[in-house]
Amino acid sequence: MDRPQASLATVILQNASLIKEKVEDSLHRAFSRRGFYKWALGYLTLFTCLALVVSMAKSPRGDRATTRSLLAEKSSLTNLLNDSEYVHGVVSDDYTTWDASFDAKRYMVERWKTSCYYPTHPIYRLNKLLKVDEMKRRGCVRRLPEVVIAGVRKCGTGTLLRFLNFHPHLVGPKDETHYFDSLTEHGVQWYREQMPFSSRLQMTIEKTPTYYFRPFDAPKRIRQTLSSNVRILVILCDPVRRIVSDYVEFINKTDKAEQDYMQRKTLAESIESTVFEQARPDNVNTHNEMVDVGIYVKYLFRWLEQFPRSQIHFIDGDNFRNNPAEELQKVEKFLGVRPFFREEHFRKDSVKGQYCMAFPQMTCMPSSKGREHPELKEWAKKRLCEFYSPFDRALATLVKQNFTWIGKNC
């Protein structure tokens, strides 16, 4: 007599490891937002239990014994998933505590098992690639960005990318590519080659802070080249403070070619004479790019023409300076990556007054960041604040988001 066919439960349990391997990637990608992982795991558990009940009810006695034996020898699919290399900690309805977010050893394990590069110091640097076979196993290729930090200059874009690169599932290049504002003639393949290798469990991020305001068709170029689903990050800050920071950087430029590239920036003997018209000192010089960039709402419309509001996330740059963890947690939620950043990850540099990444190792921004800024004269500060105020209020209304600097300086 022919041997009865194995039950569905038997097949599931015999191939549990394979099922785990195939399912865990999609679980991590699709259900990493708060609460969704538990929802997905619940449905998988229900499916497994139903399969066991139905198959045991219909299977011959011998096959039932086989099923019970397998149950005794192996963990259920639920336990295998819970013990998976991508699942650590306690899952609740609204938050997942991840060992890698507070245990430095666990962080190193999590980071390097999802990376395409060997460990190095400092952690954010990507130097030596893994062996070819291991890269293939992890799905390591140079991918076009899924996330673009489009601006704004001097509001903390460099610090933002540096911190995000500490997340085990995010990776971005060290340098700005400027592909969509000045180098499109090199072609998409060149652009791809500027990106680091990323595994199938990582998202690639690109940062060029001039995209937000130039060229005019930068948003359209990004949508057509990357994807209509690309996520856009824009960090905005107090436009008056941004002017001062932009001025300080410009006067410290030693490369004449780089100064020439900033075509619409002009310098005078002081910051006040730089941002106000010479003939009418009470008039703000909107022809100077240092001033013009701070009219954020002016450039927003071109982005909303190409992307739905749900694909653009605005970061409060002033709050980011004072509460980096809070803003980074919002970015994690927006991107759908597993929550990693915690308040205790950051420590303020007592000299520069800027926050450094203190987990898993102390890492601060380079010396070119946090330069001493000149103080604007009070009349100039008040006049600039009055100038930007209506634009700031329009911005807040349009994006339905308040920003901490609005109304504080006037």
Low-confidence ranges of the chain (pLDDT < 70): 1-97, 254-266, 279, 367-371, 410
Task: Confirm or reject CATH 3.40.50.300 for domain 132-399, answering yes or no.
Answer: yes
In this prediction, residue 10 carries a pLDDT of: 52
* Residue whose C-alpha is closest to residue 208's, from 179, 187, 237, 229: 179
Q: In whole angstroms, give the CA distance from residue 329 to residue 409.
A: 27
- For the chain, where do the domains classified as CATH 3.40.50.300 start and end? 132-399
Residue 396: is it exposed, middle or buried by C-beta count within 10 angstroms (0-12/13-18/19+)? Answer: middle
In this prediction, residue 396 carries a pLDDT of: 97
For 58-188, where are the E strands, in sequence order?
Answer: 141-142, 147-151, 170-171
Provide the greatest CA pair distance for the chain: 104
In this prediction, residue 213 carries a pLDDT of: 96
What digits encode the pLDDT tens for the residues 233-244? 999 999 999 999
pTM here is 0.77
The side-by-side arrangement of strands in the sheet containing 147-151 is: 170-171, 203-207, 147-151, 231-236, 312-316
In this prediction, residue 279 carries a pLDDT of: 64
Place of tokens 């997942």: 96
* Residue whose C-alpha is closest to residue 213's, from 265, 255, 251: 265
In this prediction, residue 395 carries a pLDDT of: 97
In this prediction, residue 74 carries a pLDDT of: 39
